[in-house]
Amino acid sequence: MTDRHYFLLAVVLYAFSTIYLVFLWRKGFRQDNRVNYFLLLAGGILHTYAMFKRGFDLQHCPVNNLYEAITFVTWTIVAVYLLVGSWSRLRFLGAFASPVILVMGVFALMPALDPPRGAHPEFKNGLLSLHAALGLLSYGAFALASIAGLMYVSQEHNLKFDKMRAIFSMMPSIQRLELAMSRLLLAGFVLYTCGLAVGFLDLAHGSTVYRGEFVKICWSIMVWIIYLGLLVMRWKLEKGGRKFALGTIFTFIFVLLTFWGVNQFSPLHTQ
């Protein structure tokens, strides 16, 4: 079996997790549900094996084309969720992460995103692989934070219009959601900062800096500043709530909409 076959099996388990979401809607997201967590765990194990199999075949971090990048980002969302989901109070995030993971997995399986490869590329630089891994892991944390933000905005809307049945039977409390947003955003920011530091360290060790590379560098610094601003707003200025949730959501949307375009300016990120 190829790595794509193992990834396909992982996507099937993600589909079962999404289907099970229907039962979670009926039971309510306040419950500590282990079934959905273990479905994602099983899918994550297959997904991880597929990533390692391709990585060993290529002899470096598998982020060379759109298929590999999407599967890596999807894997990071699963990995971050499995980590935070080990804490039962945050396990409810899986119910909202599952559909996102499934959609990204199905999209990644499109054959056009993974064209046939010629000779295997040679291992280039361990620092580059570490930089890519840390950066993509941070995106996984940011993605889950934005999902928690969506849930927060929805729950606040229910509170505003006094939809008590929806509040108590379905969604977690806004206090839990804000705590989840804050911690996920902080974890993603730490990973992103480490990834940037490794990337700059690699450049200092002699990697070729192309003219278009400065666009990617400026974009990365801008994203770092935006997320730093959100953390300062939450922890120092103590301005959480709806504005913090919307900032988390729209910042991640901005990252998604600009990530691929910015990478086209950077030969190091498209080779």
In tens, the pLDDT along 176-195 reads 778 878 888 988 899 899 88
Residues 240 and 139 placed together within one structural domain of the fold:
yes
Q: Which of 82, 114, 146 is the last residue of a domain?
A: 114
In a domain, 216, yes or no: yes
Asked whether residue 157 falls in the same domain as residue 262, the answer is: yes
| 115: helix, strand or coil | coil
In a domain, 121, yes or no: no
**Is the Cα torsion angle 262, 145, 100, 68 positive or negative in sign?**
positive
Do residues 106 and 230 both lie within one domain? no
Average pLDDT score over the chain: 76
Backbone angles phi, psi at 213, to 5 degrees: -65, -30
Check which CATH number belongs to the domain holding 178 and give it.
Answer: 1.20.120
Q: Which pLDDT tens digit goes with each residue over 41-78?
A: 999 999 999 888 887 776 656 666 778 777 887 888 88
Residue 46 counted as domain residue: yes
pTM of the model: 0.64
Say whether both 139 and 262 belong to one domain: yes
Neighbours of 176 (CB within 10 A): 19
Cα–Cα distance, 54 to 71 (Å, whole number):
11
Closest CA to 114 of 147, 70, 84, 73: 70
Confidence label for 210 from pLDDT (cuts 50, 70 and 90): low
Check if the beta carbon of residue 144 is closer than 8 Å to that of residue 182.
no
The total number of structural domains in the chain stands at 2
What is the rounded (10 degree) CA torsion for 147, 152, 153, 154?
90
Q: Look at residue 9 and tell me whether its pLDDT is greater than 90.
A: yes
Residue 122 is assigned to a structural domain of this protein: no
What's the one-letter identity of residue 124?
K
Q: What is the mean pLDDT of residues 235-250?
A: 82
